[in-house]
Every structure is written in structure tokens, then in C-alpha cells.
Structure 1
Amino acid sequence: MSAPEILVDGLAFGESPRWHDGRLWLADWGAGEVLTVDAAGRTEVVARVDGLPICFDWLPDGRLLLVAGSAGRLLRREPDGALRTHADLAALVPHPWNEVVTDARGNAYVNTIGFDFPGGEFRPGLVALVAPDGGVRPVADDLAFPNGMALTPDGGTLIVAESYAGRLTAFDVAADGTLGGRRVWAAVPDSAPDGICLDATGAVWYGDVPNRCAVRVAEGGRVLDRIELDRGCFACALGGPDGRTLHLVTTQWSPAALSGGPRTGQVRTLRAPAPAAG
């Protein structure tokens, strides 16, 4: 593959990239913003959120769901742009919440690492199911820093990156949204998988911050591709007109980046060997 090109530069702390409605969307945690990016790298702020981390996905009716992590709330963006509380996550776990992914039935899966980061003492995290009516219940626990999540196109499998365990863990998704059949989807020793995305061959791309790379891995753990970078890769997303543009969100990691410190965040792009799943 060719070397990745810079699409966006000067972010405080980019995260949670998604391709949606013909555009790249991402969160700038250091600025408390959700942005869209066009093909020329021009950005537009579409929402401002208090309470890091900020991650997001969409309900089947097109409304945006946003995690206001430290506030412990899942927010819903109405058609007029107003943000309403969709679910109270803090009532289940007081620690910051992290990633979210939605399914075709209007369920949302949201995870929490289970401790305050950075600086807190490690504790296992969990995944909670948020029903369309806003009800919240845990559906998986004992996860070692759960991070990026992805649902297979049929909605039957949820894959979770466990950053502190060096593995991608899969769950079967039942008709009622609960999770079972837990298994190691891919062991990736000496890696810290962060944000992930699925491609049409069934492989997973994951960002790796401490190793400053992005990796494509098959189920079972075979490494298919690896992209070396000059700073930590926090997440990746496939998109573009044909789904084969890989977007890598990178930052020189430091706690100061969370509060808008040195703006070293970038989005880099390159042609992927396979398009996005689904």
C-alpha cells in the first residue's frame, strides 16, 4: 500500500471516525466537538459536547447518538440540532463511558473502561445495552479496557477491542440484544487495539497508539497489513465513494491533548485493499 496522505491537520485529539452520508465524521476530544470532513479536508463543526470522551453513531431514523463520557450521558441530537438525554449511563457506572455502536433495531452498545483515565487504578470494564426507550443494562463484563467496537453487517456479532489484553473479543448478539458466546476473535499480543472497523472480507483494522501503527488482522489473529506511523493511531474508518479509503486518526499522545494542548492530531488517508463491510 502507498504511504498515507494528510487530509486534516491541527486537531487537538481526533477520535471516533465514522463514514456517514457521504462524509467523514469524527470527534475532536480536545475541542469538545463533532466534525464533518469533506474530500478536500475542510471541516465543519456539527455539535459541541461537554464530557469527554465523545463518541457517536446513528439511530435507524438518522438521529445522531453521542456519548458524553465523563458526564455519563448518552445524548440524542434532534432534527433541530438540540441535544436531549437519550439514556443515563452514570446510574449504572459512575466512571467515564467510551465507545458506542448502534444496530438496525435502535439498540446502542456503549462501553466503559471501568476506571478513571488517565491516572486511575485499573479495573475491568463492561458493555451496556441501551434499548430504544433509554433503558440501560449490562450485557458483558470483565473487559480489559474495552475500546473500539463494531457490529458485523448482519448484526449477529459484536467485536470489542480490549486494549489492555492485546485481543479482539467477539460476542454473539441475541434477538433481544443480549450478548453471549464470548470468544477471542483475534489475539494480537504486544498490541493495544483501540478504534476498529470491519472490511468486506471480514478482517478488522485497528489503531494502536503505543506502537504507532494501524493493523489489519483476520479472525484468528493473522496479520494481513500493517501501516507504520509517526504518532499514535487512535482509530480508523473505511469510507469514500467506493468504501476503500482508509481514514487513520492519529495524535502525539499526552494527557494535555485531552484539554486542547499541542494540536498534533491528524487524519491520514490511503487506499485500502478491501472496501468497508456492508
Structure 2
Amino acid sequence: MAERAIRTVLTGGGFFEGPRWHDGTWWVSDFYRRTVSRVTADGDETVQFEVPGQPSGLGWLPDGSLVVVSMRTHELLRWDGSSLTPHADLSEHCGGHLNDLVVDDAGHVFVGDFGFDLMGGGTPTAASIKRVDPDGTVSVAADGLRFPNGSVITPDGGTLLVGESFGNRYTAFDLAPDGSLTNRRVWASLGPEVTGRTTEEALAQLVVAPDGCTLDAEGRVWAADAVGGRVVRVAEGGEILDAVAAPEGLGVFACMLGGEDGRTLLMCAAPDFLEHNRAPAREAVLLATEVDVPHAGRP
């Protein structure tokens, strides 16, 4: 594993998530400041808008508008650059907080949820991937996933990869132009099957808990490991090809490739992911390092 210099881009966050590189700048959600911000490469932050229901995943529709998850209200909201309006209500299909998303070329939004009350210590329960069509219609695209989290779409638009944070794995689907998912399979096995019946038992069985992630031009996934304090570069099959450890005392919960050449790896870091610790504090940071292979695919 190569040694890489890590620099601090931004401090003072509650809990950063959903990092994206778009139109020459970083975009990022902050759970507990309830903000979506643009952040320049040298760390100047401009808050674009607030999401009272707690923002998470971000993505852009073909018309250029931004969609953002409102976690607690189980909604997708749409930002046109000046106003925030409802795009879809997913409450019927959520067992926990709505979470991360990815948007395909046609404007289908794929979004997962926790499946259970993670912060309250609920019983781990399988969850679904919801598809929101461009007109706002909601359907279940796939179910039975163990905390579906960060997702990527390959450059040809034909494959959706989903990290299962409580499953020690990435799952792949063939993605059709109409947004349907077929041919479900394990893309990368990162540890044994998780059998724990409580949150504590399940967490203890996680080898890699894939969280927010990004795809590179060699078809490898850079994934934040929510239990390992690092980001890992994963190949199909599950081999870990590279890893970047966070500074001592920090975990990493999302990452994204961007920058002008696509080789800057931005990492969302904080001391832990527990709401009762993070909500009152401003200890989250954005970190960055440089890698060899640039970004590819979506987001």
C-alpha cells in the first residue's frame, strides 16, 4: 500500500456525507448542520441551501437540477439553483433513514435506506433500493439488501454496484435503459456472511463496512470503510488493492474522486458516526489525497 500525503480541505463540520465533484467544485452534505455546500479545492465553503430533514445523497438530473435526500422525512428534494421543492416521497418503502443515492444518464435515481433505527440500536433489518423515475414515480428496484449504501454506475451505464454496509460486500445489478435491475450477484465479498441479530453483534462481524464510494477508470471502487478508519480500493471479487488510513482518531464515512484531473480523493471524516456524539460537535473534516487512476462513471 502506497504512503500518501493527506491534507485537510475543510474543518468544522457536523458529519459530512455525499461528496461530489461537479462543475469544477466539490459539493457535500452535512447531516447535523443541515446544509448542502459547495467547497472549492482550497477549502472555501459556500452554503447553498439547508435541508431541515437532514441532507445526505446528492445527484444531478439531466436538466441540471440537483436532487438531495431528506433523510428524516424520507423525501427527495429538487434544487433548481434558487428554490428547493419536493421531487418524490419514499416513506412507504423506508424502514429507516433515507440515505445515499446515484442518478443514471436517463434521470432515474437509485436510493437506499438504513432499513432500521441504527442510531437507536434497533434490530438490523434488510432494506430496499428505491428507484425514482424522472416524473417522481417511486418503485422498489431491489430488496433484501443489508443496509444498501454508497452506489456507483459504470461508464457504459450498464451496471449498478451497491455497497451493503451490514453485509461485508458489494452487490451488482445489470441496469437497463428503463431503470430496471436484473442479474443480481455478489460483485465483491469483503468478509463472511453477517449473522448478528443486534446492531452490536452485526458491527462486530464487519470486516469492511462499505459506505460512500466512487469508481475509477480501471473499474475499481474506492470505498469508505465505516468500521475501519480508512478508504479501500476494491477489485471485483473482493481483493483490496490499496488503502488510505485516516489520521488517528478519525473514521472515514464517504469518499469521492474529483479535481481537475479526477485523481483527487476527497474523504469525509469524523471521530465516529454516532448521532449523539456528532450532532452537538463540529469535529468533522474533509481530507484529500492524490491517487493514480482517475474517476469514472457515476456519481
TM-score normalised to the size of structure 1? 0.96
Take 1:94 and 1:226, find their aligned partners in 2: how far apart are those partners?
A: 32
Take 2:170 and 2:55, find their aligned partners in 1: how far apart are those partners?
A: 21
Q: Pairwise mapping of residues 151-170 of structure 1 onto structure 2 (< 5 A)? A: 151-170=153-172
Q: How has the CA–CA distance of structure 1 residues 143 and 53 changed in structure 2, closer, same or farther, with 3 Å as cutoff? A: farther
Give the letter aligned to residue 45 of structure 1: V
Give the letter aligned to residue 114 of structure 1: G
Identity of aligned residues (%): 42
Residue 94 of structure 1 deviates from its aligned partner by: 5.5
SS in structure 2 opposite 1:256?
helix
Residue 258 of structure 1 deviates from its aligned partner by: 4.7
Residue 210 of structure 1 deviates from its aligned partner by: 1.8
Take 2:125 and 2:238, find their aligned partners in 1: how far apart are those partners?
A: 26
Q: Pairwise mapping of residues 175-254 of structure 1 onto structure 2 (< 5 A)? A: 175-189=177-191, 190-229=207-246, 230=248, 231-253=250-272, 254=274
Partner of 2:275: 255
Give the letter aligned to residue 118 of structure 1: M
2:95/2:113 contact within 8 Å kept: no
Residue 228 of structure 1 deviates from its aligned partner by: 1.3
Match for residue 49 of structure 1 among 26, 48, 51: 51
Take 1:93 and 1:65, find their aligned partners in 2: how far apart are those partners?
A: 18
- Alignment deviations for residues 48-83 of structure 1 (CA, whole Å, 9 cap, x no partner): 00213522100011100011011011111124x211
2:161/2:170 contact within 8 Å kept: yes
Partner of 1:269: 288
In the alignment of these two chains, the number of paired residues is 276
2:171/2:184 contact within 8 Å kept: yes
Partner of 1:150: 152
1:155/1:173 contact within 8 Å kept: yes
Take 1:147 and 1:30, find their aligned partners in 2: how far apart are those partners?
A: 19
Take 1:45 and 1:257, find their aligned partners in 2: how far apart are those partners?
A: 23
Give the letter aligned to residue 25 of structure 1: W
Take 2:165 and 2:175, find their aligned partners in 1: how far apart are those partners?
A: 22
Report which stretch shifted further, 108-117 or 164-173. 108-117
Give the letter aligned to residue 255 of structure 1: E
Residue 175 of structure 1 deviates from its aligned partner by: 2.6
Take 2:36 and 2:58, find their aligned partners in 1: how far apart are those partners?
A: 9
SS in structure 2 opposite 1:132?
coil
Take 1:276 and 1:74, find their aligned partners in 2: how far apart are those partners?
A: 26
- Alignment deviations for residues 124-143 of structure 1 (CA, whole Å, 9 cap, x no partner): 01101101111000011111
CA root-mean-square deviation: 1.3
Give the letter aligned to residue 228 of structure 1: A
Residue 104 of structure 1 deviates from its aligned partner by: 1.1
Residue 44 of structure 1 deviates from its aligned partner by: 0.6
Residue 27 of structure 1 deviates from its aligned partner by: 0.6
Partner of 2:73: 71
Take 1:196 and 1:5, find their aligned partners in 2: how far apart are those partners?
A: 19
Residue 211 of structure 1 deviates from its aligned partner by: 1.1
Take 2:37 and 2:45, find their aligned partners in 1: how far apart are those partners?
A: 6
Give the letter aligned to residue 217 of structure 1: V
- Alignment deviations for residues 221-250 of structure 1 (CA, whole Å, 9 cap, x no partner): 111111111211001100011000110110
Take 2:21 and 2:90, find their aligned partners in 1: how far apart are those partners?
A: 26
SS in structure 1 opposite 2:266?
strand
Give the letter aligned to residue 277 of structure 1: A
SS in structure 1 opposite 2:57?
strand
TM-score normalised to the size of structure 2? 0.89
1:256/1:262 contact within 8 Å kept: no
Take 2:4 and 2:96, find their aligned partners in 1: how far apart are those partners?
A: 40
Structure 1, unaligned runs of 5 or more:
none
2:95/2:114 contact within 8 Å kept: no
- Alignment deviations for residues 162-194 of structure 1 (CA, whole Å, 9 cap, x no partner): 011111111111232111111111111211111
2:16/2:268 contact within 8 Å kept: yes
